[in-house]
Amino acid sequence: MIEAHGLREIATELPRLGFKGAKAIDPVIAEGAQFLADQWRRNAEQTSGEHGKHYPKSIDTERVVSTDIVFEVGPNPSKKQGRMSFEEGSVNQPAHLDGAKALDKVAPLIHKSVEIALGRLGF
């Protein structure tokens, strides 16, 4: 599992922000989750090779039913090669870290987008 440092902290602040704040950042987080999935997929296309040719297509995003704004991003185990261990590696292959690299790139953009959205509301 990839830890979304800082993004979890945003989620814990939602009760303080109230409905107005949560409503403002929900589309920002949804867009950020999709951008993360797209970046992860692009990274995987570069590293998965012929052996994992279906793996990039397994990476998607899904809203998780919660009282917080939560999206799950990563390989979908119901899709072809979605259960393969490309991210963390295995005895058969080294870790690819495509998702971790994508998160490093995308998390600061999500943070900035959340700051802008909340700034518009005076938070």
pLDDT at 68: 77
Which neighbouring-strand residues pair with 72?
62
Residue 1 binned pLDDT confidence (cut-offs 50, 70, 90): very low
Parent domain of 81: 7-118
Of the pLDDT bands very low, low, confident and very high (cuts 50, 70, 90), residue 5 is low
Residue with tokens 């959205």: 117
pLDDT, tens only, 72-90:
999 999 999 999 989 998 8
* pTM, full prediction: 0.85
Residue 103, in any domain of the structure: yes
User: For residue 36, is it within any domain?
Assistant: yes
The residue with tokens 């799950």 is 72
Could you give the number of structural domains in the chain?
1
Question: Quick count: other Cβ atoms within 10 Å of Cβ 96?
Answer: 22
Higher pLDDT, 63 or 10: 63
Within-domain flag for 2: no
Does residue 8 register a pLDDT over 70?
no
pLDDT over threshold 80, residue 63: yes
Q: What is the pLDDT of residues 20-42, one digit of tens each?
A: 888 888 899 999 999 999 999 99
pLDDT value at residue 12:
66
Lowest-confidence segment of 1-5, 49-53, 63-67 by average pLDDT: 1-5
Residue 1 included in any domain: no
The verdict on residue 123 lying in a domain is no
Q: Does the residue 96 lie in any domain? A: yes
Q: Is residue 91 part of a domain?
A: yes
- 31 within some domain: yes
Whether 123 shows a pLDDT value over 80: the answer reads no
